[in-house]
Structure formats: structure tokens, C-alpha cells
Structure 1
Amino acid sequence: MVESVEAPRAGAVLTVDLGAVRANYRQLANMTRGACAAVMKADAYGIGMEQVAPALALEGCKVFFTAHLEEGIRLRQLVPEHCAIYVLHGPPPGTAKECFQYDLTPVLNDPGQLHEWRTVAHKLGRELPAAIQLDTGMSRMGIASTDLAALSRTSDWLQGLRPTLVMSHLACADEPGHPMNDAQRRRFDTLREVLPGVPASLANSSGVFLGPDYHYDLLRPGAALYGINPQPGMPNPLRQAVSLRARVVQVRSVCEGDVVGYGAHHVCAGERRIATVAVGYADGWLRSLSGRGFAFVDGIKVPIVGRVSMDSMGLDVTGIPAERIVPGAEVELMGAHQTVDEVASAAGTIGYEVLTRLGSRFHRRYL
């Protein structure tokens, strides 16, 4: 376990179980006959790329994805040289040489990026690796079918490039019965015919659970690695990787009619005990949890009362033994009694947003 003397000074402690991340990777990798990558974008979904990437490399992961070039440059320092790193947004204009310098493989999403990467290959006098992303209906990233048709009519459209992967992204993979999943898979099979023999990738975290028809040569899980449920509404088959405990700053008794928090939105209906804990929206604890979310004290659910403010929030701890809730004591915000997906549901969002918003003010422990 990585620990520091700064832990008692922090308002909250975020614990990341790297063993759980590795176990999730093993489980996902064992579901396919092909290879399994790991998506590291947004600082490994907010839990720390510097710690997660080496752990996954030790587990045998050889392919990684980031969103931005800068993330790829950081990642290159963390994993062995033989690992492939793909940059999902491709090379920003004028940065193609940096991709080459740091041995990063861009994911080319439009004719402009394709042209720029070909230009760099021509200047260097060598073939350069590239992934080609195809838009199969999400209208977000990837070469549109009309552009692909126009490009492929020219025999030299890939001159100077060595395609190492052809990929697309599913829009509704977390809804197994949605007809768009099959429509995108079929469209992907049609469009990738212009790249015969190139390894293919379609499945994101939820896509892995759509079955072998979606697996192709490479899986691209991200959120599932970190414990977010890839099958909403069903039991989570993966291990929770993140827990969060907040420290109590103050405890006070309040009377009927007293107000808790900004805006006077919470008015006490009787005598209550209110604990103020040192977590707020500046830490990434969503303001939408005001009056809707919960914490746990020794397995007992206690509600958030009043508005979540910048640095703190109130909990109604009436009935909890007084000796248990004192300044410096900890309460559970995520962990054994409340998953990241349950927090997200209370906040009216998704687990992705909860994890990626978790701020830098927490003390972090890595197990």
C-alpha cells in the first residue's frame, strides 16, 4: 500500500485498489480470443494513470488508448517500450512529429488528419503506423462513409501509412437490446472491407458484454476496468476499485425550524444532529447530490441535508452514537455500502462523470 504522512491533513481519503483493477482486466481479457487493451483517458478515468498504467502493464496489457496527445506523451513514460499507445483524437494540427517522436499511433478520424499523417510519412521517407476510425452511425469521431468512399476510389489513399487497426465506437452498447448495436456492427463489417486484413476493434466496456460477434481482434475497455457497471440494471460482474471516505469537521445539535446549508432549502422538522464533512463540489462531489445523496456510518445510511457547498456538506447523523461521530472521524461516501454507480444514480448522472470529477484535494491511497 502507498501511504503518506499527509493523510490526516486531508479532508477526505480516496482509496484505489489496483488489485481490483488488475482483476477486472484479467476477467475482460479472458472473455475474448483476441487481445484486450486498456483506455487511460482522463487520467485513467480520474483514479491516476501514473499508478494504473504500470499495474496493467504488469498484468500483461500491451495496448493502451488515450484521448489527447499530451496524455499519450505522459503514458509513454509509464509503460514498456513495446506497448502500443493509440491517441483517439488523432494528431492535433501541427503535432504529427510529436506523435512520431514519442512512438504514439494516432487514430485518424477524418481526411484532414489522414492527409497530415501521410505528409509526415512522406517527409520522413518511411511508412508510419496509424489506426483508422470509421463512423458507423454515432456522428462523433471517425471517417464518414461518404468520405471513405471518396478516399478509397484513389488507389494511393493509404500511401505512406501502415494501418495497424480499423475501429469504430458503439453508441448504445449499455442497452443490449438496442437495434443500433447490430446496425453499427453490420455497417462496420461493410465499411472495413476497404482495409482487408487489418485488425479490427469495436467493443468498448459495455460492448464486451454484447458477445463474441462484437469482439473482433481487440477489446477497448475503459470504465469497466475501474469498477463501473458495464451492464446497467444488472448485477455488476466486476470488482469495485474505488472507495472514498470523508472526515468530519464539526458536529452540532439543531432545533426544529433551523436551517441547514445555503438557500435555506433544508429546514429541520425536529431536533437533529448534523455532521459537517470536508467534501464539496470543489472536490468533484456533485452539487446535484444535495438532499438526494447519502453517506454511511458503520453501514448505517445517513442522508445529505442541505446543499453540497464548495468545500463541505451536511449529514443528518441523528441516532448515530455520539462517540462515533466526532471531529476527525470518517464516513463512507463510496465503498462497501455504496458503489460509484449508486452515487451516480442519486446525482442523476453516470459513473463515468462521478469518477472523472474526483478532485486532486483528496489524499490518495493505492493498494
Structure 2
Amino acid sequence: MTSKTVVGHLTPHNLKAQTLKAPDRTALSGARRIVVKVGSSSLTSIKGGISEEALTGLADALAHKRNAGAEIILVSSGAIAAGLAPLGLEKRPRDLATQQAAASVGQGLLMARYTHAFGAHGVTVSQVLLTADDFMRRSQHTNAFRALDRLLNLGVVPVVNENDTVATHEIRFGDNDRLAALVAHLVRADALVLLSDVDSLYDGPPSHGAKRIPHVSGPHDLDGISIGSTGKAGVGTGGMVTKVEAASIAAGSGIHALVTSTRNAAAALAGEDVGTWFSVNGSRKPIRLLWLAHLASVQGTLVLDDGAVKAVRDRHTSLLPAGIAAVRGHFEAGDAVEMVSTDNTVIARGLVNYSAAELPQMLGRSTRELGKALGRGYDREVVHVDDLVLV
């Protein structure tokens, strides 16, 4: 294993806050349903292929937890990394077509290794490939939940990955950390464990004697942190930035999360004091709103006047055309847009009901007036409150 990510700096104020209350990790040791994510850098050898030792060690820890009665979903990177050597590639390709080819070759190799490693413990695994579209559309995420829930009921460990072979730039998660957070929410998991080759979030470079940050109780504990990115191995896509983001997404939607190293997997699942624990600080939300807040590709911007800012942000109402001061970008009805104040502060994201070409003639006018002047269909909200999330 090669990547040694430098993970952060914590201000003295926040460092003091870490010592106020120790986290209760029984939420993980006693969890019934757990989503575990492992990154490419944790599964690959120095030569670039899949490390049998690393993969077997992880499977041993997860199978032990599964055989003790917990339900485990493994979100695993590594398909592209596993396909590099067979294709004669030295590092992760940058172009999408070659990434898709490597994933197509590597996914089968990766699953074969998981099947063998878990099979040694009498545990059956399955392959589940998802795209962002499976979380955007109600029928698809309902079907995904039913399939995963049934697999768990049958005692199977689903191995989930992004469907890299067919995903396009526009609908990709970009990394499996955020995919894991959405999967945890989708299956109503009790906990999310994010594994890499770094054992915790630190208050500085670990090689310089920095201290581990054992607990994040809320977003305020992350103020002042400067977090590292992808490691030297060159096979991953995330780094500590996306792990902290994914843990924060989970904690903010009612799911405890832990960030630690793959070698700490068994200790983490036993509830030992390893890694950085993210305590729940919010309630569960509709999965479409999580997608909208954290994954949707924003196609344009709506500038809100002061009254609309207060209505959307403070009263949680739909956005009406009368409150829009300007339109930026090129988008169609159904696209995701950002809503900003006149000083360009982002207020919310939402799915817009009109195209960028239609909206200029509607600005500053009431829905009643628009219905009379332009006809039926123009008397709707620009962004309905059910398709809107504050950010």
C-alpha cells in the first residue's frame, strides 16, 4: 500500500471541542445493518494489481461480523484498478472510454476474488452495480432498495460498485464514498464505515506528530480543517476530502459514520476506539433531496430578490417567478439549478419547471398573471418546495 494522505489542520478552538464528549461507539458494535466502503488504494499492491492479502484480510473481518448476526453491504472500489494490469496500463486512465474498458475487465476479476475470500467463511456475495440515475428516479431507487433488502434477508453480502462500464461523466458519482453514503441511506443502515489506507482524520500531517481527531459531533468541528486529497498510488478518485464529505452526509441524515483504515476494519466493527467517529447530527431525508444537495449536476442559476430569499430559506416555500431577479446558464425543464441571493450566496438547489429560454418573460410576474397572459402551464411554481433543498 502506497498512499499516505496528509489529512488536516484543526484550529485550537475546535481541538478543544473534541475533548468535551467521547463518542458512544456501541452504535457501531451493536449495529444490525452496516455499509462498509473500501477504496482502491486499500486493495491494490505496489505493482498495481489487487492485493490478495489486503482483500482477504478485509473479507475475514466482514465475514466475521456477518456470521455474528450483522447485515453487511460492501461498497467496493477496485474494478478499474483490477483491470489495469490485464490491459497493460500502468495507472488509472483519464479518458472515460478507457476507464470503462478497465472497469469491464476488472469487475469480474474483483468479484471472483471476493467470492473466494468470503466463501472460505461460508458467506455468499453478490454483485450490485448502480448509477446515479438509480437514486434520481423513484421507481429505480425503490427497486434498488428491494433488491438489496432481499439479498440481506437471504444472508448475502452485496458488493456494490458504480457501474463504471456504462456511466457517463454527467451521471457519475465521481467516487464511491458518496455512493456509500447514499447506499447507507437507501437501505436504512445503522452505520457507515469508510475504509482507506489512512487510519483517521488528524490535526496535521501524521508523519509530523499530529494528533488523531477521534470525534466530529457536527459541521462546526470541521471549521478550519485543511484536508488532503488522492494519495500517491494514483488508483483512487477521492482521498480524505470525499470521505469526510460522505461521513458528514451520513451523519446529517441520521446515520453514524466512521472513517478509518482497512487494517482497522475488525477493530472498528467491534466498537473499538479507532478512526474518527461522526455522530448523528440530523434526521433522515428523502433520498432524492440528498442526491440534489450533494450529487446533482447544476445546469444554471436563479438569482432571488430579498423577499424570495426569505420565503425559500426561512419559510421553506416554493420559488415563484415573482421573486426571481435574473437567470443564468442554459438549462431545460427538470434540470437542477442553484438559487442564489443578489450577493451570490447560494441558498438552495432545486429542479426547475421551466427552461432558461422560457423564464425571462416570467420574471417579476405573479402566477395568476402568467396563467392569463401565457396560458395554462405557466401558472406553476418555478421550483416546487418538494423538489428543493437548502444548502
TM-score by length of 1: 0.26
TM-score by length of 2: 0.25
- Considering fraction of residues, name the structure with more helix: 2
- Considering fraction of residues, name the structure with more strand: 1
Higher-Rg member (1/2): 1
